[in-house]
Structure 1
Amino acid sequence: MESHQYLHRVHGKLELRKGDKIRVNQSHLLYSLHRRRLHPPTTTTKPSTMAATASFTNPTTFSSITRRSHNQPSSPPTTFTPKQQPSFKPLISQSTLTRHTSIITASSSSNSSSSSPSSNSTASFHGTCYVVRDNIDTDQIIPAEYLTLVPSKPDEYKKLGSYALIGLPASYETRFINPGEYETKFNIIIAGDNFGCGSSREHAPVALGAAGAVAVVAESYARIFFRNSVATGEIYPLESEVRICDECRTGDVVTIELEQSLLINHTTGKQYGLKPIGDAGPVIEAGGIFAYARKTGMIPA
């Protein structure tokens, strides 16, 4: 562009001065102004150029200088009042709480009832397992076409369970749920690496829980699936120390001991160590994060 200004280098920096008519590269000019904004000169700025410098470095400073020059009073400070959030409707059905109590076998120790909510869970699970491989994504757990079902409605919660793991490929000859049924005979799922990957769907752990599953034992999880499992309180997402899915078969009878962090395969006679569930255990046992918050007094019951 044509300009009556040119770039003059002073002490290693570019400055604008009126003078000869030359051609100025626009990108070079913008870059120079950008550098002046990020690295303002350390030398004392003359009063005559203070307003111009402020316009490049901080528009707020320039406006404050203008107000002081006209002796205008500053506007009174305003108080920020956050909007009150609407009440949150739980995602899961109330039947989730009673379902856990009917499956979990609590420890018979005398101090179990008086233990703190953050203590390790003493629950155990017993049943038959369903084995899947690596990278089972949420679209295989519950396809997107069924996400219109509302889990907080009991009839739709039940229907959601009938579609659990319906997206698995045909290579899985044994289906997790038989067609026309609402509950599975496999209440423990054993998986490989990266279980629950793909898009974030709260319906994924809810569908497994609605079908009757109480725990998934995987080599690793997608983080969002793990968090949704804890938040909804539908299933226990347990991690194995070894690759159990290579040594178990669908239909094996297994027991999970949470307190010992142990999985016992009664069909093969082998035992496998599990990683402790930690503080997530009491949240799941309570029925989800909101039920846990009410139980511990974090929010009104």
Structure 2
Amino acid sequence: MKEPINGKAWKFGDDISTDLIAPGRYFHLRTNLPELAKHVLEDADPEFPSNVNPGDFVVAGRNFGLGSSREHAPTIIKLAGVSAVLAKSFARIFYRNAINVGLPVLICDTDKIDEGDELEVDLSAGIIKDITKGIEITFNPLPDVMIRILNDGGLAAHIEKHGDFKLED
């Protein structure tokens, strides 16, 4: 993953559930994730799936990814081209699943970020630059091991590349 990451903010509120991320009516597509990704977050914002661009960010409030532990929810966000999800907090299983599939998830204050703002994110430094507003927002930088997992494309790819999972290389 090349840093810093640049893209446009797509703003969502609190309590964005896995049902909003991966609508249940498309359950039959869970074996065709690229097709399911065409419907990602459409119940939260009908414009999102057809207008999101590679590199864009999902920016949300509290408790992003609550609900059932649909592993495909973070996967289809990533397949839609989203480079990271920024939120005030995440449901625990969604957070873990996101890292496992190689989708960066950052816990930060998202109040000052608006829909359409151009952002630049440095995962290692823990800095979000809102280019549109000329402000910086800090977050706890991701641990090196998480950055390595993300750079390798997720946990399975990391283990395939390095063998048994180790916290330190």
Amino acid at match of 2:68: S
Greater length-normalized contact order (CA 8 Å, ≥ 6 residues apart)? 2
Mapped partners of 2:43, 2:123: distance in 1: 30
Contact 2:69-2:93 within 8 A present in 1 as well: yes
Match among 252, 274, 282 for residue 139 of structure 2:
274
Structure 2 residue 149 is matched with structure 1 residue 283 = yes
Mapped partners of 1:147, 1:226: distance in 2: 21
Matches within 5 A, 1:243-254: 243-244=109-110, 246-254=111-119
The CA deviation string for residues 41-65 of structure 1, in whole angstroms up to 9 with x for no partner, is xxxxxxxxxxxxxxxxxxxxxxxxx
- Deviation, 1:294, is 1.5
- Deviation, 1:205, is 0.4
Contact 2:13-2:61 within 8 A present in 1 as well: yes
Matches within 5 A, 1:9-24: none
Amino acid at match of 2:140: K
Aligned to 2:107: 239
Identity %: 31
Structure 2 residue 21 is matched with structure 1 residue 177 = no
TM-score (norm 2): 0.88
Match among 59, 83, 96 for residue 190 of structure 1:
59
Amino acid at match of 1:236: P
Aligned residues: 163
Structure 2 residue 83 is matched with structure 1 residue 214 = yes
- Deviation, 1:150, is 4.3
Q: 3-state SS of the aligned residue for 2:105?
A: strand
Aligned to 1:204: 73
Mapped partners of 2:41, 2:70: distance in 1: 13
Aligned to 2:38: 162
Contact 2:124-2:142 within 8 A present in 1 as well: no
Unaligned runs of 5+ in 2: none
Structure 2 residue 22 is matched with structure 1 residue 142 = yes
- Deviation, 1:161, is 1.4
Unaligned runs of 5+ in 1: 1-103, 106-122
Contact 1:147-1:203 within 8 A present in 2 as well: no
Mapped partners of 1:188, 1:201: distance in 2: 20
Asked which structure has the greater CA Rg, the reply is 1
Contact 2:33-2:72 within 8 A present in 1 as well: no
| Runs of 4+, deviation exceeding 3 Å | none
Structure 2 residue 160 is matched with structure 1 residue 294 = yes
Q: 3-state SS of the aligned residue for 1:177?
A: helix
Q: 3-state SS of the aligned residue for 2:141?
A: coil
Contact 1:160-1:210 within 8 A present in 2 as well: no
Matches within 5 A, 1:37-186: 104-105=1-2, 123-150=3-30, 156-168=32-44, 172=45, 175-178=47-50, 184-185=52-53
Mapped partners of 2:67, 2:114: distance in 1: 25
Mapped partners of 1:188, 1:249: distance in 2: 11
Amino acid at match of 1:136: I
Mapped partners of 1:258, 1:231: distance in 2: 16
